[in-house]
Structure 1
Amino acid sequence: MEVPTAAKQAPEVSLRRVGGLLAPHWPRLAAVTTIIVASSLLGMATPFLLREIIDRALPRQEVTLLAWLVAGLVGVAIFTAVFGLLQTWIATAVGQRIMHQLRVDVFTHLHRQSVSFFTRTRAGEIQSRITNDIGGMQAVVTSTATSIASNLTTAVATAVAMLVLSWQLFLVSLLVLPPALFLARRVARLRKEITAKRQRELADLNVIVEESLSISGVQLSKIMGTGPALTERFAGSSARLVDLELRAQMAGRWRGATMNIIFAAIPAIIYLSAGLPPAAGQLTIGTLVAFTSLQSRLFQPMMGLLGVGVSLASSMALFARIFEYLDLPVEVDDPVLPVRLPKPVRGHLRFENVSFTYPGNDVPAISGINLDVPPGSSLALVGETGSGKSTVAALIVRLYDPSAGRITVDGFDLRALRLNELVGVVGMVGQETYLLHASVRENLRYARPDASDEQVEWAARAAQVHDMIVALPKGYDTVVGSRGHRFSGGEKQRIAIARTLLRDPPILVLDEATSALDNSTERAVQRALEELARGRTTVTIAHRLSTVRNADQIVVMRDGRILEAGTHDSLISIGGFYATLTT
């Protein structure tokens, strides 16, 4: 699978697909359109009321007519304002619902991606697409449909009214269209290009922040003395963003300045046209005032439509980046027709001629693996670094699917099970423990949100970490800090063990869970692991052979294949590769 990167241009997106975001909300959009049409038609009454005031009520001193006409002007203003409030409220609600759904869809789809996607994609890039890109689309999604409906309705109604007043002057007013369309197209192309560059630069900035200001990043920069270089890198990215933002803003300003000059010239041309033959003497002052009032109302929606076109064109770069993520194929997914494991789950684990090659690699990580781990028994995988042990563990918890062969639990292929069911069957404790920036209690309940306080405490006691927790300032409610850095490696491991105990899985995978610990801490964690493994099918991966010598089966791996298999004593007796590891 090809993973999107910040440097690569996202594929184009069709307007039909963008319009599909609005389709589920058509009843509210129809209501908004109705309000817009009513408001636009009502607004058309203003120039005609104004003409009657100038041509009839004022010259003839008809006070009653003048009062009614003025009341009409005020009434139009009031109703138009109320319609505007309703339109804004409904349109904003629709826009926010669309933004919410987009954020949830992207977040959910990314959670379905395999681990290979996240190993190849920078975390800051992912965050940028969910926050910056979707946030940048908000104004367009919220206002585009209503702006088009409002401006189009107003423009059509205004044009009809202008034709009724004077078709000659209407033709003069259309002189503004060719330059307006030409300038709008140029600005749209320019802004689309700048927007794409700006979002990629924002993604790079997010990556710098995520990598440099995380607890691990800060520690690394302090140890390596790279703070000044990181600051220079951040400043460079920020300066490029300033330049791109200025270019984006100025791309529309020169168009606006040019159109303002044209708009200022058109009324003057209209007045000139009204005074030249054959129009001279045929137009009343009220008609001329009403027409120029309509003319200004026509140019505003025209420019609004052109502005929407520019905004939509520039936002297509954002839509492309979001849809690029939504279109990523899901490599490890729920089956179309899932099966359910019979209860209770026995935990009989089998590998049947399993091979696997990591995406982008040509050499298989493991090849032709056959394993049979009876229920309640223990299997230990040993071997040199890179021999394929952790790949076996990753396949058991279905971080990846085999390239060939199959893995079964109680005779059922793992790929036939729902992922949510599988996580209740297989638990894993690895070498690196990830803790959330939350309380100890919340970290333990992450595996089982419905666990009671008594169950949480039982798991902590079984993992031999309860005494340490209650000694904290706030006990189980103490915040662990970013990634749990306030705890030692052994303490974090025991919290991870307690978290897995809460789920109570029948199959347990221990991937070098004690390899980074000192001897005294390892003994404490090992006792917790023995408690965790009791009565479960256990697969243990270890470098320290002292932790696996009592396993029911020991499998020695080399270059992705099984080299030797047997018990500790039998492998020692044959004097093979395993025997050399013990010396």
Structure 2
Amino acid sequence: MKPETLTWTPSPRTGAAEHPDRPEPPAQLRRIFGLFRPYRGRLAVVGLLVAASSLVAVASPFMLREILDTAIPQGRTGLLSLLALGMILTAVVSSVFGVLQTFISTTVGQRVMHDLRTGVYSRLQRMPLAFFTRTRTGEVQSRIANDIGGMQATVTSTATSLVSNLTAVIASVVAMLALDWRLTIVSMVLLPVFVWISRKVGRERRKITTTRQGQLATMAATVTESLSVSGILLGRTMGRADSLTKSFTDESERLVDLEIRSSMAGRWRMSVIGIVMAAMPAVIYWAAGIVLGAGGTAVSLGTLVAFVSLQQGLFRPAVSLLSTGVDMQTSLALFQRIFEYLDLPVDITEPERPVRLGAVRGEVRFDGVDFSYDDKSGPTLKGIDLTVPAGGSLAVVGPTGSGKSTLSYLVPRLYDVTAGRVLLDGVDVRELDFDTLARAIGVVSQETYLFHASVAENLRFAKPDATDEEIEAAARAAQIHDHISSLPDGYDTLVGERGYRFSGGEKQRLAIARTILRDPPVLILDEATSALDTRTELAVQQAIDALSEGRTTITIAHRLSTVREADRIVVLDAGVIAEGGTHDELLARDGRYAALVRRDGRPAPMGTDISEAPGTDEQRVSLTEPEPAVR
């Protein structure tokens, strides 16, 4: 399925998407307003508070006029006291209304922020594996942290500021017209020019903001990659720490330049607006004393003071309104980046009426399966027909790039087939609900991922309600309990980022314990021991044997010694099944499998992939961030 308005093309520098068909601003604005629709009741209350506050504030200049023109000249102390008290109450009521509207609008804004964050995160959770193999982690983090964080002012205060200032401007203009329409025309003559300037500044800042957010994403990706455990190991062992620091410094310098440009864009033009508005009272005094006075239509002192007071009150919301317009245009760039992620097509979706299986027997069948990663590359798998009976075991072997891992990814729907079907207990996996798939299929891969949390928390990720006894039993079955118990903090030991406080074999056994705790009827072992030394492999293989007992097992193997006992072994070559049978049958044929066995029995020659060479876990610690396998 292809998106109608979005084409995802990784940028060479940032990994950000290039979007030739961006939505027009009116369409964007409608979508932004749609984010606030669930909270329209609260926003209506804010609107009423804003309107009431503006009307109350406008009353002060009229009471001031009465004080100057009537109460003081005529010595009416009672009226003077009443008007003075009214002005004080006006200030109190305006302040109370202001606090209430700020509380409600901030609450609504934060709820919208929450909706955006969870919406993007939920969308990314549903993206196919291919998306993450071509997108830098830092880019994803930047969209959620920097872009949504950058919109906070817009969604929490800008909307309220817009309504508040617009209401204040309208109320002030109406009041000014009521006092003297001629002075009002003098005050408003330059307003269209100010609006034009602010719109131009807003467009300029929007362009800079788009570039700035891309630069923030680049820096986030650099930090994520170079300051991870693997990144530090790689940088230091390659002697590149200084060059990495210099590269980060250069990226930071570019960000400094963009931040300055963003802050200063249109600053002088907006300052001119402020200067002109600040000078307007003098213009009004001049117009009242010279122009209007010469025409015989003098303005009373009270009216003039009240008008200037209103005008001064008008300038603040007017300038704020123009600045809000600039900020809103700037924030459109941030909204656009978030909408890009929200609009990403989700290829793997749950059917409208999914099938839910109760007890899963575990039969897996590949029925005429073809698979291609995209239209440009050739087929990775072609015409795969395989059946693994419930409780049976299948081993898939073959050279690198033959499609072994891809075949295993089709069962839990990490990818969907291009043609044919993958069936679980006779039901196409595309027709099953996600919960059934997750409950039925467990995966143990070569690259074990552990969270930066305690051992117990990592194991409970498979079963949140697991008891301590269940966790310990799973660890015993995985041959890792004794080691955990020997640690000072036992099961409360922090595993460190990506589990780097444990060796490769220990991490693998923790992953096996985690899968045992989940207890899936179908087990996929994706080269689970290929990066381990022989001694560690033996311990892990014992754990795998315990895990595999009574389950349907599909093993993707590089080391053929781990698959000799499989019920059936198939050899993949260039995406097709070259041959299949038991270990003894395939050896007797003296075909490709026999050739692989002979190669597997020889010492690895110079230049062989280190993951296939002998050695200890410590000698073969991966020094690069592992990329998800896609072949």
Alignment TM-score, normalising by the size of structure 1: 0.98
Q: 1:152 aligns with which of 159, 162, 166?
A: 166
CA drift of 1:54 comes to 1.2
C-alpha contact 2:198 2:270 (8 A) present in aligned 1: no
CA drift of 1:252 comes to 4.4
Larger mean Cα displacement after TM superposition, 106-115 or 151-160: 151-160
Aligned CA-pair RMSD: 1.3
Q: Does 2:210 correspond to 1:196? A: yes
- Output the amino acid matched with 1:351: F
Mapped partners of 1:485, 1:71: distance in 2:
71
Q: Does 2:501 correspond to 1:494? A: no
Mapped partners of 1:571, 1:132: distance in 2:
56
Taking a change above 3 Å as real, the CA distance of residues 8 and 386 of structure 1, as seen in their structure-2 partners, is closer
Mapped partners of 2:291, 2:450: distance in 1:
84
C-alpha contact 1:455 1:502 (8 A) present in aligned 2: yes
Specify the SS of the correspondent of 2:335: helix
CA drift of 1:445 comes to 0.6
Q: Which residue of 1 aligns with 2:618?
A: none
C-alpha contact 1:176 1:263 (8 A) present in aligned 2: no
CA drift of 1:9 comes to 4.8
Taking a change above 3 Å as real, the CA distance of residues 312 and 285 of structure 1, as seen in their structure-2 partners, is same
Q: Which residue of 1 aligns with 2:325?
A: 309
Mapped partners of 2:210, 2:314: distance in 1:
32
C-alpha contact 1:116 1:359 (8 A) present in aligned 2: no
Mapped partners of 2:593, 2:18: distance in 1:
51
Larger mean Cα displacement after TM superposition, 299-308 or 390-399: 299-308
Q: Does 2:247 correspond to 1:242? A: no
Q: Which residue of 2 aligns with 1:434?
A: 449
Mapped partners of 1:302, 1:4: distance in 2:
42
CA drift of 1:277 comes to 4.4
Q: Which residue of 2 aligns with 1:218?
A: 232
Q: Which residue of 1 aligns with 2:353?
A: 337
CA drift of 1:360 comes to 5.8
Taking a change above 3 Å as real, the CA distance of residues 108 and 130 of structure 1, as seen in their structure-2 partners, is same
Q: Which residue of 1 aligns with 2:60?
A: 46
Mapped partners of 2:111, 2:416: distance in 1:
36
Mapped partners of 2:121, 2:42: distance in 1:
26
Q: 2:567 aligns with which of 552, 569, 573?
A: 552
CA deviations over 1:89-125 (Å, ceiling 9, x no partner): 0000000000011000000000000000000111000
Q: Does 2:268 correspond to 1:251? A: no
Q: Which residue of 2 aligns with 1:445?
A: 460
Unaligned runs of 5+ in 1: none
C-alpha contact 1:176 1:262 (8 A) present in aligned 2: no
CA deviations over 1:412-444 (Å, ceiling 9, x no partner): 000011122101101111111000000000000
- Output the amino acid matched with 1:223: T
Mapped partners of 1:425, 1:206: distance in 2:
37
For 1:20-419, list aligned pairs within 5 A: 20-280=34-294, 282-341=298-357, 343-359=358-374, 361-419=376-434
- Output the amino acid matched with 1:326: L
Specify the SS of the correspondent of 1:276: helix
Specify the SS of the correspondent of 2:190: helix
CA deviations over 1:289-319 (Å, ceiling 9, x no partner): 0001111122222222222211111100000
Mapped partners of 1:506, 1:178: distance in 2:
71
- Output the amino acid matched with 1:153: T
CA drift of 1:333 comes to 1.5
* Count of matched residue positions in the alignment of Structure 1 and Structure 2: 582
CA drift of 1:3 comes to 2.8
Q: Which residue of 2 aligns with 1:537?
A: 552
- Output the amino acid matched with 2:336: A
C-alpha contact 1:106 1:130 (8 A) present in aligned 2: yes
CA drift of 1:560 comes to 0.6
Mapped partners of 2:309, 2:283: distance in 1:
14
Q: 2:542 aligns with which of 527, 531, 553?
A: 527
CA drift of 1:527 comes to 0.5
CA deviations over 1:128-179 (Å, ceiling 9, x no partner): 0000000111111112321222111111111111111111111100123032
Mapped partners of 1:438, 1:94: distance in 2:
34
C-alpha contact 1:51 1:286 (8 A) present in aligned 2: yes
Specify the SS of the correspondent of 1:61: coil
- Output the amino acid matched with 2:321: L
- Output the amino acid matched with 2:526: D
Mapped partners of 2:449, 2:78: distance in 1:
80
Mapped partners of 1:278, 1:308: distance in 2:
35
Q: Which residue of 1 aligns with 2:623?
A: none
Mapped partners of 1:8, 1:349: distance in 2:
38
CA deviations over 1:197-237 (Å, ceiling 9, x no partner): 11000000101100110011111001111111111111111
Alignment TM-score, normalising by the size of structure 2: 0.90
Mapped partners of 2:101, 2:310: distance in 1:
23
Larger mean Cα displacement after TM superposition, 353-362 or 162-171: 353-362
Mapped partners of 1:222, 1:485: distance in 2:
16
Specify the SS of the correspondent of 2:515: helix
Mapped partners of 2:52, 2:555: distance in 1:
72
Mapped partners of 1:519, 1:237: distance in 2:
45
Q: Which runs of 4+ in 1 moved over 6 A?
A: none
CA drift of 1:61 comes to 2.4
Specify the SS of the correspondent of 1:60: coil
The share of aligned pairs that are identical, in percent, is 55
CA deviations over 1:22-59 (Å, ceiling 9, x no partner): 11100100000000111110111110111111112222
